[in-house]
Amino acid sequence: MDFFGSLLDPIVHLFQAGINVIYQFLSNAGFPNYGAAIVLLTIIIKMVLYPLTVKQIKSMKGLQELQPKMKKLQEQYKGNPQLLQQEMAKLYESAGINPLAGCLPLLVQMPILMAIYYALRDMTYTGDPSFFWIPSLSEADPLHILPVISALTTYVVSAQTTPADGGSQAKIMMYMMPLFIGWISWNFAAGLVLYWITMNFVQGLQQWWMFRDERKAEKEKAAPKAQKETKKGKKKDK
């Protein structure tokens, strides 16, 4: 285990013990499967971290939506950094966004996410480590199905929080991040990639739940416009 892993050693062992406890519970229930144990542990972790995830995602989405206005201010006050800073502060205040609000939840989550990474990377499976077509969760997926799914689920999660007018940089990241995740997952231990996929699925469901009211409001706003366009089309036909 490297330097960061040694710092997180107590949490790493806690997660490994958690996987073994869940595995033992599944064994007693007649379903001894480490893959299922990893999935259940990931769901538990994501549910515990949900309040922090809400703060992080909403802050990040708010900042992305402000990107066009921020660019205009940067162009307008590029020769006056002090005034630019003041105008940016006013923009954040008017939008009710704290640019640092998304950092603190992420900082709290990072040690946990890193610990689960080391826990799965260095996991010793005392029982059968196979999972469907994968001979061992401690080895890479021989068919590379999990890396492809990890890239696809990463794209879906990124697309959920990337606004249509978020700018070219946000759109580039929306495509580059999934490709990067798929690439690094190619030779990762299958147990670790399974954790990432499960985390993405849960994250996607959580984000859907977070923004359900916004989507409903958008549909309600779009409905009158669609009706007006339909009426205009009928008048033209007449």
Q: What is the mean pLDDT of each run of 10 residues along the chain (238 residues)?
A: 70 91 94 94 89 78 77 82 83 76 68 83 87 92 95 89 66 86 91 92 87 66 59 58
Residue for token pair 């990337």: 162
> What's residue 224's pLDDT?
62
Q: Specify whether the CB–CB gap between 164 and 114 falls below 8 A.
A: no
Q: How many Å apart are CA 108 and CA 224, to the nearest integer?
A: 44
> What's residue 234's pLDDT?
58
Q: Specify whether the CB–CB gap between 34 and 23 falls below 8 A.
A: yes
Q: What tokens were used for 92?
A: 């954040």
Q: How many Å apart are CA 6 and CA 58, to the nearest integer?
A: 33
Q: How many Å apart are CA 58 and CA 13, to the nearest integer?
A: 32
> What's residue 69's pLDDT?
82
Residue for token pair 């708010």: 62
pTM, two decimal places = 0.75
> What's residue 3's pLDDT?
62
Tell me what percent of the chain is helix, strand and coil, each rounded to the nearest 5: 75, 0, 25
> What's residue 230's pLDDT?
59
> What's residue 114's pLDDT?
83
> What's residue 167's pLDDT?
61
> What's residue 22's pLDDT?
95
Q: How many Å apart are CA 204 and CA 57, to the nearest integer?
A: 11
Q: How many Å apart are CA 23 and CA 14, to the nearest integer?
A: 14
> What's residue 206's pLDDT?
87
